[in-house]
Structure 1
Amino acid sequence: MQQAEIGLIGLGVMGSNLALNIAEHGYRIAVWNRTAEKTRSFAATAGALSDRIVPCETLEDLVAAIRPPRPIILMVQAGAAVDEQIAALRPLLSADDIVIDAGNANFRDTMRRFAELEGSSLTFIGMGVSGGEEGARHGPSIMVGGTQASWLRVRDVLTAISARYRDEPCVAWLGRNGAGHFVKTIHNGIEYADMQMIAEIYGILRDGARLDTAAMARLFEQWNGGRLESYLIEITAKVLAAADPETGRPMVDVIVDSAGQKGTGRWSVIEAQMMGVPATAIEAAVAARGLSALKDERAAAESLYGTPTTGFERAIVREAVADLELALLAGKIAAYAQGFAVMEAASKEFDWGLPMATIARIWRAGCIIRSQFLDTIAEAFEGAPPGNLMAAPRFVDLMTEAVPALRRTVARAALAGIPVPALSAALAYFDAYRTGRGTANLVQAQRDFFGAHGFERIDRPGAHHGPWGA
């Protein structure tokens, strides 16, 4: 029997769709699931693709079915399950075989796994996959971390199954060990911020301007034809236009306002803090999800303080709504600037050499944060790096145009009692970033007063102390 080009363990939603994607592009794939019945059922329902799928009853069968050196994708729950699967595979694998973790792993776990396999003749790939169920089936954005040799072994398969943007594959090798999973983590942090800002704009439209959901859907659809064109804006328009089949009410109106999270957004904030890089819009978005989960406490607080919003005065509704497109654009730019700044810092700390322009390009299709404005980001990182994205000439122009709308939007929301934590954080980040002399001189004086930490003077070098006395 012809051997498979690649193997896959874990036939949940993502694993099943990824396996079908691989088979659809002409590659034989060996599959195994902990529950044998699921493996058999998957193969039996693969239709025209079944002749390229090799269902395996045991791990030994799986390993034997793959052409050496064997790449095996793990699509299992992040954490201990990955370690358990690696431990089960190790005695069965041969030199140069490749274990590929394609889950939402913490990049520090990925780096540990690389270290543990070092010297074993096996190798490891930490692979970020974005795009959800649809992306896995029809073309995700793929972020690869590992050795170049292991990347070359799987490059053809991953290139074939990845999303395409104007015929360019949305897959790339980004660096050693944890590089791929780190970039996916920051991708998800930016995704949190993007989604939260969109939700805040929705809150302004609903509670400030008092628009109905049909009008909001039309507005988001209109924005998706302009500078905000992106997957998240597109699906927001569709979500707002959808009706609940049971009640006939707008679907969004019958959904509980409590959002979940799986960890990657939180990890992006932790890593930003560890590296001392401000990522305040992302932090605000993660915190907003945490606050959303306090549903009972929020209801109790409303009974104490009353309903916080009264809507905008009729006279300012039109100009308020007109500002929202640019306000959202400015907020998005600040959030992306923060995410790329965190990746720049990690690239230096872990010696990855992350290719920022390439990262922007592979996010242009397949992934959740795909948008037309990633082309502009890629162009900004070509040639001389701008440092912070907001310092790139094109983004200076965009922010100069858009920030006044963001400022008015945040001010109106604050006056109306509408919470906009991510948009507010984006504005504060911009204002702090473009302020040549801030207020940290007072902080340094305070630190020196109570802790004798010392400070630098503006008129001569060296460490100094103030005349505070004992």
Structure 2
Amino acid sequence: MSNSDFGLIGLAVMGQNLVLNVESRGFQVSVYNRTTSVTEEFVAEHPDKKIVGTKTLEEFVQSLATPRKVMIMVKAGGPVDAVIESLIPLLDKDDIIIDGGNSLYTDTERRDAWCKEHDLRFIGAGVSGGEEGARKGPSIMPGGPPSTWEVMKPIFESIAAKVDGVPCVTHIGPGGAGHFVKMVHNGIEYGDMQLICEAYNIFKAAGFSNDELANIFADWNAGDLESFLIEITANIFKQKDPETGKDIVDLIVDKAGQKGTGRWTVMGAVEQAVPLSTIASSVEARILSSIRDQRLAASKVLTGPSNTGFQLGDLSKEELVTMVRDALYASKIVSYAQGLDLISKVGKEKEWGLDLGAIARIWRGGCIIRAKFLNRITEAYEGDQQPTNLMLAPFFTGVLTDAQQNWRKVVALACLNGIPVPSFAGSLAYYDSYRAERLPANLLQAQRDFFGAHTYERLDKPEGEFFHTSDWPELIS
């Protein structure tokens, strides 16, 4: 048997599906898993596939054609380092190691330097799409040297999702650029999911049935809000529990999990001084959901409007659906605007040469945040006059203008009825702050100067001149 075109380490569900995807495009694939029985079972389940199972790393490396292309699909952190450390003595100059997991981009930069010390090439590739995407076509965000991208391009383009015939993969940039963009992608995903959940919470409090919700989200998916997450949400409301016959969504405990990429995004935004209210509030919402025991205890002590139901009054269900739809659409735009702002700022600081239009283009298919309006984002960043913020692109400015009154009504309605909508409200606050000609930061600067002599600028003096008031009134006590 000839040597394999591609190798993959780590045969969990994502790894197995990626192997089947690569093999289906005409490539022979070698596989290795630390637990040999997993490898043997996987190969046995696919006897007609060009998949070569190996029992040791040495056998795995020897089975690959040069330059070797080795993709690692193991848990982020220490396990990735351990695999790389084991591979380095076995590989030859210019062989390629690809980390396809959800690694922190600073770890990717460290591993890139580590591999260079051993004359190896390294790619940090964000892969989005879950199990189905891995098998049928994910969105791939590879970072690394352009020359290494050219070697991997035939395989990556063949296995990626296609939209209008265009593969959902492009060379993102050097070093940790690929994993950084994937991290922000996941942050936007947190925002999208939370916004949908807030819409659901309002509808449930207003007395909508799950059948009604399934129809609402299906209708939305046929319009401007068309997206993978809206589509699966419509289907979730239709799912019955085979044991009880009840709607499965009503039986699931309201404690959300997370793997860390959302937190990383928020931490990165804080470090870069980039406002990220929609995504940050979405991460916080997951954390609050996880302290369920505290919430249950607090619900018996802290008072407020009931957040389990409210009367529509003069408002019809159809009117509420339109209002919530507009709030969701507007908030979704803000979430993407904040994420792209973070990508832009870090890209410029690190001189990665990131192309926001190309990034939006590869998010149109395969990935979790794929959505119809990504075509509009691509268009916004393809022209010569790129907006400094997505909200300033004419199409999105128009949507926000048309939607904002309903957006405000939804946030107000939720607040009056004790329904938490942190991401709807955070998005609206960002919009209002960004468009404000004047914010109350003048008072904040006065406070800083009062207690710490931090100085301030003046409206009636040239920009860049700083002043200090030395005779603020003394405190009474």
Same fold? TM cut 0.5: yes
2: CA distance, partners of 1:57 / 1:177: 32
Q: Which residue of 2 aligns with 1:352?
A: 352
Change in Cα spacing, 1:422 to 1:121, as seen in structure 2 (3 Å) is: same
Q: Which residue of 2 aligns with 1:111?
A: 109
Match of 2:196 among 170, 195, 198: 198
Shift of 1:308: 3.4
Match of 1:97 among 82, 86, 95: 95
Question: What SS does structure 1 have at the residue aligned with 2:330?
Answer: helix
- Kept in 2, the 8 Å contact 1:131–1:368? The answer is yes
Using the size of structure 1 for normalisation, the TM-score is 0.98
1: CA distance, partners of 2:365 / 2:235: 19
Shift of 1:75: 0.4
After TM superposition, where is structure 1 displaced by more than 6 Å over at least 4 residues in a row? none
Shift of 1:313: 3.2
Q: Which residue of 1 aligns with 2:62?
A: 64
Q: Which residue of 2 aligns with 1:222?
A: 219
1: CA distance, partners of 2:45 / 2:214: 37
2: CA distance, partners of 1:48 / 1:197: 44
Structure 1 stretch displaced more, 367-376 or 452-461: 452-461
- Kept in 1, the 8 Å contact 2:88–2:118? The answer is no
| Aligned residue type for 1:228 | L
Shift of 1:460: 1.0
- Kept in 2, the 8 Å contact 1:280–1:429? The answer is yes
* CA deviation profile, 1:414-453 (whole Å, cap 9, x unmatched): 0011000000000000000000111111111110110000
Say whether 1:121 aligns with 2:123: no
Matches within 5 A, 1:36-435: 36-49=36-49, 52-207=50-205, 209-305=206-302, 307-318=306-317, 319-383=319-383, 384-435=385-436
2: CA distance, partners of 1:38 / 1:452: 65
1: CA distance, partners of 2:327 / 2:17: 37
- Kept in 1, the 8 Å contact 2:207–2:309? The answer is no
Shift of 1:245: 1.2
2: CA distance, partners of 1:427 / 1:47: 55
| Aligned residue type for 1:59 | L
2: CA distance, partners of 1:464 / 1:198: 47
| Aligned residue type for 1:464 | F
Using the size of structure 2 for normalisation, the TM-score is 0.96
- Kept in 1, the 8 Å contact 2:92–2:120? The answer is yes
Shift of 1:62: 1.1
2: CA distance, partners of 1:448 / 1:251: 56
| Aligned residue type for 1:163 | A
Shift of 1:379: 0.5
Shift of 1:349: 1.5
Question: What SS does structure 1 have at the residue aligned with 2:230?
Answer: helix
Shift of 1:65: 1.1
Say whether 1:451 aligns with 2:452: yes
Question: What SS does structure 2 have at the residue aligned with 1:194?
Answer: helix
2: CA distance, partners of 1:407 / 1:90: 57
Question: What SS does structure 2 have at the residue aligned with 1:277?
Answer: coil
- Kept in 2, the 8 Å contact 1:448–1:455? The answer is yes
2: CA distance, partners of 1:310 / 1:236: 21
- Kept in 2, the 8 Å contact 1:190–1:335? The answer is yes
- Kept in 2, the 8 Å contact 1:20–1:46? The answer is no
Shift of 1:309: 4.2
Question: What SS does structure 2 have at the residue aligned with 1:7?
Answer: strand
* CA deviation profile, 1:330-373 (whole Å, cap 9, x unmatched): 00000000000000011011111111001001000000000000
* CA deviation profile, 1:192-234 (whole Å, cap 9, x unmatched): 0000000000000001x21011001101101110110000000
2: CA distance, partners of 1:177 / 1:38: 32
| Aligned residue type for 1:419 | P
2: CA distance, partners of 1:334 / 1:4: 45
| Aligned residue type for 2:213 | M
| Aligned residue type for 2:40 | R
Shift of 1:56: 1.0
Say whether 1:465 aligns with 2:468: yes
2: CA distance, partners of 1:198 / 1:416: 18
2: CA distance, partners of 1:155 / 1:107: 21
2: CA distance, partners of 1:32 / 1:393: 50
Shift of 1:247: 1.2
| Aligned residue type for 2:227 | S
Shift of 1:305: 3.2
Shift of 1:320: 2.3
* CA deviation profile, 1:270-298 (whole Å, cap 9, x unmatched): 00110000000000000000000011111
2: CA distance, partners of 1:14 / 1:157: 17
| Aligned residue type for 1:442 | L
Question: What SS does structure 2 have at the residue aligned with 1:305?
Answer: coil
1: CA distance, partners of 2:8 / 2:29: 7
Question: What SS does structure 1 have at the residue aligned with 2:7?
Answer: strand
Q: Which residue of 2 aligns with 1:30?
A: 30
Gaps of 5+ in 1: none
| Aligned residue type for 2:443 | L
- Kept in 2, the 8 Å contact 1:284–1:425? The answer is yes
- Of all paired residues, the percent bearing the same amino acid is 49
| Aligned residue type for 1:290 | I
2: CA distance, partners of 1:219 / 1:96: 53
Shift of 1:170: 0.2
Question: What SS does structure 2 have at the residue aligned with 1:188?
Answer: helix
Question: What SS does structure 2 have at the residue aligned with 1:244?
Answer: coil
- Kept in 2, the 8 Å contact 1:8–1:72? The answer is yes
Change in Cα spacing, 1:35 to 1:415, as seen in structure 2 (3 Å) is: same
- Kept in 1, the 8 Å contact 2:72–2:97? The answer is yes
Question: What SS does structure 2 have at the residue aligned with 1:303?
Answer: coil
| Aligned residue type for 1:432 | S
Gaps of 5+ in 2: none
